């Protein structure tokens, strides 16, 4: 477990709080593991009828800790092994049986956005900024977002988010169907908790079956595997090396001479 994910259970709601605000809630391997285990465990816990994902601080999450990706690119054996093992959070999201609710304030980057596509209810701050800058880092979409995001918002909008790295606001996320509602920042977690409590009070079997009928876990898992193979390949590439170096040196990357 890790202190960077706070876990609380009350009134049928399992609350998972990202708690690394000093690092913009960037997600580490330990955080992925804690989140994945909690979501998986909720399926067999009769006292949990809904999972609420939120974050402390002024940002939902900056996405994956880039030092982990850089370590893979640099050839660190432990980092490479962990990457090959796959992301435990993504797998758990794809097979989740318990309803998931998210509360998003500030910025949500990369996996901070793609995880929302697996949530059943999403509440965002009006001034939140959502970005999926995978291609900017010479990487590619994950969490089956390569099918989920275009299905949700259309190909052109999804391509602009993935390839151009364009940010969208909370209000746009609501208008495009990524979020249920965009609210003043100080109301987001309150509204999300109320929604989670409302779900938890519904007939559990009916809710579970409804969610199951709306999802195709096998298709999501297959796409995650396909994305994962490409992701690992790109992490080891010269393109990624240049992208991570540019990020560390606070300069624009130059891919013109990358084979």
The pLDDT tens digits of the residues spanning 144-203 come to: 999 999 999 999 999 999 999 999 999 999 999 999 999 999 999 999 999 999 999 999
Contact 141, 93 (CB under 8 A): no
Token couple for 1: 């477990």
The pLDDT tens digits of the residues spanning 30-57 come to: 999 999 999 999 999 999 999 999 999 9
Q: What is the CATH number of the domain that holds 147?
A: 3.90.226.10
Contact 152, 178 (CB under 8 A): yes
The pLDDT tens digits of the residues spanning 120-149 come to: 999 999 999 999 999 999 999 999 999 999
**Residue 249 belongs to a domain:** no
Domain count of the fold of the chain = 1
**Residue 173 belongs to a domain:** yes
**Residue 224 belongs to a domain:** no
CA 18 to chain CA mean position, Å: 12
**Residue 116 belongs to a domain:** yes
**Residue 245 belongs to a domain:** no
The pLDDT tens digits of the residues spanning 57-98 come to: 999 999 987 777 767 777 767 766 766 667 999 999 999 999
**Residue 216 belongs to a domain:** no
- The count of C-alpha atoms lying within 13 angstroms of the C-alpha of 130, restricted to the half-sphere facing its C-beta, is 32
Angle, helices 238-249 vs 66-73, to 10°: value is 140
**Residue 30 belongs to a domain:** yes
Token couple for 221: 């898992």
Tokens 């624009």 locate to 252
Distance CA 136, CA 89 (A): 23
pLDDT more than 90, % of the chain: 84
**Residue 259 belongs to a domain:** no
Which residue, 13, 114, 26, 115, is CA-closest to 64?
26
> What residues make up the domain containing 40?
5-185+200-207
Which of the two residues, 1 and 91, has the higher pLDDT score? 91
How many Cβ atoms from other residues are within 10 Å of residue 190's Cβ?
A: 12
């Amino acid at each position: 477990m890790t202190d960077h994910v706070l876990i609380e259970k009350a009134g049928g709601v399992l609350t998972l709080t990202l708690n690394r605000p000093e690092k913009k809630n960037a997600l580490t391997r330990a955080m992925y593991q804690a989140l994945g285990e909690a979501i998986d465990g909720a399926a067999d816990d009769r006292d949990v009828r809904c999972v609420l994902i939120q974050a402390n601080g002024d940002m939902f999450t900056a996405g994956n800790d880039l030092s982990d990706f850089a370590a893979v690119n640099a050839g660190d054996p432990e980092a490479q092994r962990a990457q090959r093992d796959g992301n435990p959070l993504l797998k758990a999201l794809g097979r989740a049986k318990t309803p998931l609710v998210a509360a998003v304030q500030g910025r949500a980057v990369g996996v901070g956005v793609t995880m929302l596509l697996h949530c059943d209810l999403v509440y965002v701050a009006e001034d939140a900024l959502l970005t999926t800058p995978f291609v900017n880092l010479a990487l590619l979409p994950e969490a089956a977002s390569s099918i989920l995001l275009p299905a949700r918002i259309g190909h052109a909008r999804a391509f602009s988010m993935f390839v151009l790295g364009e940010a969208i606001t909370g209000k746009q996320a609501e208008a495009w169907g990524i979020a249920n509602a965009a609210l003043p920042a100080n109301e987001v977690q309150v509204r999300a908790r109320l929604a989670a409590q409302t779900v938890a009070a519904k007939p559990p079997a009916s809710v579970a079956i409804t969610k199951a009928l709306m999802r195709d876990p096998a298709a999501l898992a297959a796409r995650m595997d396909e994305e994962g193979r490409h992701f690992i390949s790109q992490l080891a590439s010269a393109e990624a090396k240049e992208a991570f170096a540019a990020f560390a040196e606070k300069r624009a990357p130059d891919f013109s001479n990358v084979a």
